[in-house]
Structure 1
Amino acid sequence: MDLKRLINGSFEHAEEVKEFFKNKDVNDRLDDGDIEGYELLLRKPDGEVQSISPISAVLFSADLPVYRNIVRDDLENRRNQILNTEEFPGNLAAYDRLLNLVKHKATVIPFVGAGFSVASGCPSWSEYIEQEALNAGLKTDIAERLKVGDHENLMDEVVVALGIDLFTRDFRSNFEGGRITPALSPSSELAGLFNECYITTNFDRVLDHCHHESMPFDEKVVGKDDTGRFLKAIYRNEKYLLKLHGNIDEPRDRVLTKNEYDKGYGEGKVDYSFPIPRTLQRIFGSFTVLFVGCSLISDRYLDVLKETYSFAPALIPDHFAIVVAPDDEAERLLRDRHLASHGITPIWFANGDWDKPEEILKLLKLES
């Protein structure tokens, strides 16, 4: 049966036709029998019974209320499964708040961390630092230092021990080249959902490549840029990428070692006369930020966020994070309190459930 001819012939309004084809995943599963309990039968005058297919198109054309009930029930089941509401009951309310912003075209700025490059073939940032620390011959308890968020000092020791040239060469070998497949990154699901400005701390180019074919960035700027171009782009609804900590091979704009962090954020405490914290303060205080692929344990951009939130918590827009939950409930409570102190509402997923961030983004796309 020609679905398009059936659907287009049954409804005069394009929105009704669009509704059917938007539900392609549900339609396919309904037609394949994966949604149990539904079968359409034609009983002929001679008593012969014949199945009618495709079920989805026939139901949509003949009994739209029933069709919509099936779609609604299926969506509710998918929400509960994807958001894992049995283990994380608070996920649903957090997700609905984020969905409401997306539906109403509010400005939501994705903040993309290294975790979103792992599926493309890049090592995780913590794994990479640990391996480089071992290569550098460091004997300290590397894993424990990473667990408590001592990335900055550990990275400084690694770069000093290896030298920046060797570190940069090794970085390119691990984060660039033919074995990296950007299309496998969940970042590809951000395109089409958030079509304006993005922020990333990543030195790799996975996010840029994910958007290059369909919706390329109009411009890429670094965090130390002092022109205010990124903020202007947000207000103008232009699509800019803010490489917050610069690029690995550009020492002038890079923020990697402790010395570079001090030059980017201030020494001892955050210095808001510097471009990076000044820009972040404006962003965090004015627009919703969605953190994805970020551990959110320790980084100086979190210091800016915490200070911005503490100054006027009632006036700060909602911020969200799709973030892995600690296995231990007591530890999860501590993490939740940590996030709350920064004005971040988590949408949790279980450790090891690495497909969940992509599924949550797909669900947002479907419902928005």
Structure 2
Amino acid sequence: MPYNQYEKNQDFNTYLDRNWGEVRIGTFSEAASFMLFNYDETSYIEQLNEWISRKQQSLRLTYDKLLQIKTNLSRLQQLENAITNGSLTPVVGAGLSAPSGHPTWTTFLRDTARNLEMDLNIIDQKINAGLHEEIASSFIDKMNIEWFNEQIEHNFSLKSYPQGAIQQLPNLDPACIITTNFDKNIETIFESSRKSFDHILLSDKLMGFGRRLSQSTRILIKIHGDHLEPYNRILTKEEYDASYGHGPIDLDLNLPKTLAQIYKTRTLLFLGCSLMADRTMKVFNRVKSDSTSEQEIPRHYTFEQLPTNSNHTLKRERELIDHMIFPIWYPRGEHQHIESALAHLSEVFRTKNRNLGTSHTTTLTPQT
């Protein structure tokens, strides 16, 4: 097997090395997973298949626990319906890239501020107020644009083969994915699954989005740009103002117009998104406020960590549902629940395809 197949199985390799340790031959030693992969491919695949079987069972048990929390059962059933009728559109945030070694946006801002010896108390106050774009502008004032671009490239370049729940996305086979992330984890996962995107659209290429979607093509929209294309990136206050409007949201601009169209016509599933008071949420709030009836807008869903007390839970639920986004709750810090739910939705999609007599290949299988 080519070496990149070894990289794809990082979680399994870590498990194998933790249990088997290193293999020593004379003065030479190497990780057990690497030795098995290179010198006993049959045994490596056998061990991998056993590990995958155990992981699938573990994900099913985790999903069963997810169903027991609050209103999760009915909301997850609605996601099954969206998978079945083809209306589901994942919206991927920084939380889904964290297992692959990328910082969340908040972490990046705090780390950069610390390196620049800025006052972290002021930075934290701005983060809590949702003023991320103002912080980015202040960095450029201190660093200059070339240095800042270099830091973006360094932090959001591909570290290793993407890990975690993001690996499940190709199994859902969505017609469209939206991401606020700068990295290329989504592209890497889909290319590896032989499901490359027909169109990868940045904010300046959104004209004709609806026509492309109706042509049954696979589309990735990187609404805030790519880490390698600084001139198409939306990061600073000035760039947000140009793309979303100065002051109130301007729905005549391409990016808000496209987000509004998707918000009104698709079932959005937010994955790893903070969903705080940022410009994207302001677009949704504007569209909902302009609607004459709640029935004009589909229900959307997000995976959300349970707050520390019930009062905070009720407050957060109200905040989200005010934007027609219904939370699927999971215990704080137990992010494996997201992967378990996506694995279940993948199985729903495979069942649909079997019933239609079509084939579908899951990514949770060893490559031989």
Same fold, judged at TM 0.5 (above): yes
Following the alignment from structure 1 to structure 2, what is the Cα–Cα distance between the partners of residues 348 and 162? 40
Following the alignment from structure 1 to structure 2, what is the Cα–Cα distance between the partners of residues 129 and 243? 20
Which residue pairs with 1:243 in the alignment? 222
2:169 aligned with 1:193, yes or no?
no
1:150 to 131, 150, 158: 131
Amino acid at match of 2:242: K
Deviations 1:84-135 (A, max 9, x none): 52xx3111111111112212x2321111111110001111211111111112
Asked which structure has the greater RCO (Cα within 8 Å, sep 6+), the reply is: 2
1:80 to 55, 64, 83: 64
Q: Secondary structure at the match of 2:95?
A: helix
Amino acid at match of 1:145: K
Which residue pairs with 1:163 in the alignment? 144
Following the alignment from structure 2 to structure 1, what is the Cα–Cα distance between the partners of residues 92 and 62? 25
Which residue pairs with 2:188 in the alignment? 209
Following the alignment from structure 1 to structure 2, what is the Cα–Cα distance between the partners of residues 345 and 306? 14
1:127 to 107, 113, 116: 107
Matches within 5 A, 1:192-341: 192-214=171-193, 215-228=195-208, 230-312=209-291, 313-341=294-322
Which residue pairs with 1:350 in the alignment? 331
2:66 aligned with 1:89, yes or no?
no
> Which runs of 5 or more residues in structure 1 are unaligned?
1-23, 36-73
Work out the number of aligned pairs and report it.
294
Amino acid at match of 2:240: Y
TM-score calculated relative to the size of structure 1? 0.74
The structure that has the greater radius of gyration is: 1
Amino acid at match of 2:222: K
Q: Secondary structure at the match of 1:285?
A: helix
1:174 to 146, 155, 168: 155
Deviation at 1:188, TM superposition (A): 1.5
Amino acid at match of 1:294: C
Following the alignment from structure 1 to structure 2, what is the Cα–Cα distance between the partners of residues 309 and 355? 32
Q: Secondary structure at the match of 1:198?
A: strand
Root-mean-square deviation (CA, aligned residues, Å) is: 2.4
Amino acid at match of 2:88: V
Deviations 1:274-327 (A, max 9, x none): 110011111111111111110001321111111112222221012111222322
Deviations 1:60-102 (A, max 9, x none): xxxxxxxxxxxxxx97x66431x152xx311111111111221
Q: Secondary structure at the match of 1:217?
A: coil
Following the alignment from structure 1 to structure 2, what is the Cα–Cα distance between the partners of residues 326 and 307? 27
Identity of matched residues, %: 31
Following the alignment from structure 1 to structure 2, what is the Cα–Cα distance between the partners of residues 325 and 156? 32
The structure carrying a bigger helix percent of its residues is 2
Following the alignment from structure 1 to structure 2, what is the Cα–Cα distance between the partners of residues 84 and 101? 18
Following the alignment from structure 1 to structure 2, what is the Cα–Cα distance between the partners of residues 149 and 332? 20
Q: Secondary structure at the match of 2:171?
A: coil
> Which runs of 5 or more residues in structure 2 are unaligned?
1-48, 350-368
Following the alignment from structure 1 to structure 2, what is the Cα–Cα distance between the partners of residues 162 and 148? 23
Amino acid at match of 1:286: T
Which consecutive segments of 4 or more residues in structure 1 shift more than 4 A? none
Q: Secondary structure at the match of 2:148?
A: helix
Verify the 8 A CA contact 1:121 1:181 in the aligned structure 2: no
Deviation at 1:140, TM superposition (A): 4.8
TM-score calculated relative to the size of structure 2? 0.74
